[in-house]
């Protein structure tokens, strides 16, 4: 007869084989891209604060001209290591619409930390009108919303090359080595030294791509570190519990087996 | 309790460290009725039935086959007429159970693949086997298979027999003839 443990292993194997296949089936269609080392990979991975702050700077100075970040508010930036006064100063750079006031009028005021990050365009149609008909997607969940996540975004941002021989690129489109179909409506957003990092890091294109991808990974899941910390505690607790249960089971059934 | 706690450990590992492993990136894109994804794929636990749905070329029959895959479970008591309930004492059925599980895994895999080429042929074969297992194999096995002899009582090995506690009536006597 097959032992309990063998059955368990068999079921586990079934699960391990089935699920990854089921979920990676789709990404097989896109162009393969290299995977990167990220500080937030793995069960103990955390965000690198310096990387996040640089990435935030890239987002603020480059991406934010077209892409919204709807699910992030100014006060969330405390996670990046900014203090309260710095966040107030960042928020105060933006004007947001508030109201209605006592006269029933909407009015503009400087943003405060509890405001959401202001979108660059009032609506989708305005965004399309200023971008040649293409809609710049919201970036708040971007890392989870693309197969390949951070690796794909990094490959995309650093994947603007010369058009290879024999490839046609439509009008108003740009060649990208990793975008499905190789034609993307977004021109290469990053250039060497396009931003000037506050911490003195040299702003090469790949450095910026890395930083802004890390920032977007944070924006996608700001509480990732808390989730992983909690996970480690829960797993340790459960492992201890499992050992206790195993030995009590052995004791209870010792007469039979 | 030991089994439950092993399961909880594995589940917690998935929940805390791989929360997106069974989802799709499309679920993070705001719904837009004007744009549908290039491929639709259901959640992983629906994949075997999705494979059955796509294996049948006809639309209506495909839907019927998909629901029949579940409905066939409801008539199991009339399909499996074997006098012995436990698979531990049915040597051929035990093998066929693992073959059936393999078939389900294959259907899950095929459900996730695009419906073209070799995948269509394979998923048709697997679908046929899925129904063959229930409709042909189970009734046939219950007629032709010779089960191993049952233990006299389930109470005996558990309670240790002969240590003073009276064993309950033999289980074999309570089994349906």
Q: Which of A23, A127, A228 to mutate to test the interface with B (most CBs of B within 10 A)?
A: A23
Residue B64 domain boundaries:
47-146
**C-alpha distance from A200 to closest chain B C-alpha (Å):** 34
Inter-chain residue contact B112 with A25, CB threshold 8 Å: yes
Q: Tell me, yes or no, whether B52 lies in a domain.
A: yes
Residue A144 domain boundaries:
31-72+117-246
- Number of independent structural domains in chain B: 1
Helix (H, G, I), strand (E, B), or coil: what is residue B110? helix
Nearest to A212 by CA among A80, A54, A65: A54
- CB-neighbour burial class of residue B109 (10 A; exposed 0-12, middle 13-18, buried 19+): buried
Closest chain A residue by Cα to residue B102: A14
Q: pLDDT (tens digit, 9 = 90+) per residue, A232-256?
A: 999 999 999 999 999 999 999 888 7
List, in sequence order, every residue forming a beta bridge with A116; answer none if it has no partner.
Answer: A73
- A interface with B, Cβ–Cβ < 8 A, is 1, 4, 8, 12, 14, 17-23, 25-26, 43, 137-138, 141, 144-147, 149, 220, 227-228, 230-232, 234-235, 238-239, 241-242, 245-246, 248-249, 255-256
Q: How confident is the model at residue B28 (pLDDT cuts 50, 70, 90)?
A: confident
**C-alpha distance from B97 to closest chain A C-alpha (Å):** 13
End-to-end CA distance of chain B: 35
Inter-chain residue contact B16 with A231, CB threshold 8 Å: yes
Q: Tell me, yes or no, whether B15 lies in a domain.
A: no
Closest chain B residue by Cα to residue A253: B158
Q: Tell me, yes or no, whether A50 lies in a domain.
A: yes
User: What's the pLDDT score for residue B24?
Assistant: 82
Q: pLDDT (tens digit, 9 = 90+) per residue, B71-122?
A: 999 999 898 888 888 888 888 999 999 999 999 999 999 988 887 888 989 9
User: What's the pLDDT score for residue A99?
Assistant: 84
Instruction: State which residues of chain A have pLDDT below 70.
Output: 1-30, 257
Q: Tell me, yes or no, whether A37 lies in a domain.
A: yes
**C-alpha distance from B137 to closest chain A C-alpha (Å):** 22
**C-alpha distance from A22 to closest chain B C-alpha (Å):** 5
Q: Tell me, yes or no, whether B16 lies in a domain.
A: no
User: What's the pLDDT score for residue A39?
Assistant: 92
Closest chain A residue by Cα to residue B27: A145
User: What's the pLDDT score for residue A14?
Assistant: 63
User: What's the pLDDT score for residue A150?
Assistant: 92
Q: Tell me, yes or no, whether A95 lies in a domain.
A: no
Contacts of A12 in chain B (CB under 8 A): 10
Contacts of B39 (CB under 8 A, 6+ apart): A26, B114
Q: Who has greater pLDDT, B35 or A107?
A: A107
Size of interface A-B (CB pairs under 8 A): 98
List, in sequence order, every residue forming a beta bridge with A175; answer none if it has no partner.
Answer: A183
| CA-CA-CA-CA dihedral for B24, B25, B26, B29, to nearest 10 | 140
Q: Tell me, yes or no, whether A131 lies in a domain.
A: yes
Percent of chain B scoring above 90 in pLDDT: 38
ipTM of the shown complex: 0.74
Smallest Cβ–Cβ distance between A239 and the set B9, B16, B44 belongs to B9
User: What's the pLDDT score for residue B150?
Assistant: 76
CATH code: domain of residue A203: 1.10.760.10
Inter-chain residue contact A256 with B109, CB threshold 8 Å: no
How far, in Å, CA of B24 to CA of B20, rounded?
7
Q: How confident is the model at residue B177 (pLDDT cuts 50, 70, 90)?
A: very low
Closest chain B residue by Cα to residue A243: B2
- Number of independent structural domains in chain A: 1
Q: Which two tokens stand for residue A130?
A: 């200023």
Inter-chain residue contact B16 with A19, CB threshold 8 Å: no
Inter-chain residue contact A245 with B2, CB threshold 8 Å: yes
Contacts of A26 in chain B (CB under 8 A): 24-25, 39, 41
Long-range own/partner contacts, residues B105-109 (CB < 8 A, 24 or more apart) = B105/A14, B105/A17, B105/A18, B107/B47, B107/B48, B107/B51, B107/B52, B108/A18, B108/A21, B108/A22, B108/B44, B108/B47, B108/B48, B108/B51, B109/A18, B109/A21, B109/A22, B109/B47
């Amino acid at each position: 007869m097959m032992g309990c443990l063998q059955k368990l292993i068999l079921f586990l194997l079934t699960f391990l084989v089935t699920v990854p296949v089921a979920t990676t089936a789709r990404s097989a269609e896109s162009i393969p891209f290299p995977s990167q080392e990220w500080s937030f990979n793995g069960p103990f991975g955390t965000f690198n604060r310096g990387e996040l702050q640089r990435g935030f700077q890239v987002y603020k100075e480059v991406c934010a001209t077209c892409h919204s970040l709807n699910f992030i508010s100014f006060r969330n930036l405390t996670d990046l290591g900014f203090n309260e006064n710095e966040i107030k100063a960042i928020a105060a750079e933006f004007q947001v619409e508030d109201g209605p006031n006592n006269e029933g009028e909407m009015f503009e005021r400087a943003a405060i930390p509890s405001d959401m990050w202001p979108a660059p365009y009032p609506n989708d149609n305005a965004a399309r009108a200023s971008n040649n008909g293409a809609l710049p997607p919201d970036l708040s969940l971007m890392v989870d919303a693309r197969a390949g996540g951070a690796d794909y975004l990094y490959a995309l941002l650093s994947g603007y090359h010369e058009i290879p021989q024999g490839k046609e690129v439509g009008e108003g489109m740009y060649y990208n080595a990793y975008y499905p179909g190789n034609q993307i409506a977004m021109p290469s957003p990053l250039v060497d030294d396009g931003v000037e990092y506050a911490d003195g890091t040299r702003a090469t294109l790949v450095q910026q791509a890395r930083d802004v991808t890390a920032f977007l990974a944070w924006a996608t899941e700001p509480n990732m570190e808390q989730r992983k910390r909690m996970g480690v505690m829960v797993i340790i607790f459960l492992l201890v519990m499992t050992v206790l249960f195993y030995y009590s089971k052995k004791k209870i059934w010792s007469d039979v087996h | 309790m030991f089994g439950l706690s092993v399961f909880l450990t594995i589940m917690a590992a998935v929940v805390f460290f791989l929360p997106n492993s069974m989802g799709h990136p499309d679920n993070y894109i705001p719904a837009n009725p004007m744009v549908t994804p290039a491929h639709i794929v259901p959640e992983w636990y629906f994949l075997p039935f999705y494979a059955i749905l796509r294996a049948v070329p006809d639309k209506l029959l495909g839907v019927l086959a998909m629901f029949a895959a579940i409905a066939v479970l409801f008539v199991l008591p009339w399909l499996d007429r074997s006098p012995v309930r436990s698979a531990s004492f049915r040597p051929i059925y035990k093998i066929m159970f693992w073959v059936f599980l393999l078939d389900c895994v294959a259907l899950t895999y095929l459900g996730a693949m695009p419906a073209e080429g070799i995948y269509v042929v394979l998923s048709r074969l697997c679908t046929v086997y899925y129904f063959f297992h229930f409709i042909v194999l189970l009734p046939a096995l219950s007629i032709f298979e010779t089960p191993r002899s049952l233990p006299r009582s389930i109470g005996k090995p558990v309670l240790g027999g002969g240590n003073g506690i009276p064993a309950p009536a033999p289980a074999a006597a309570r089994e349906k003839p």
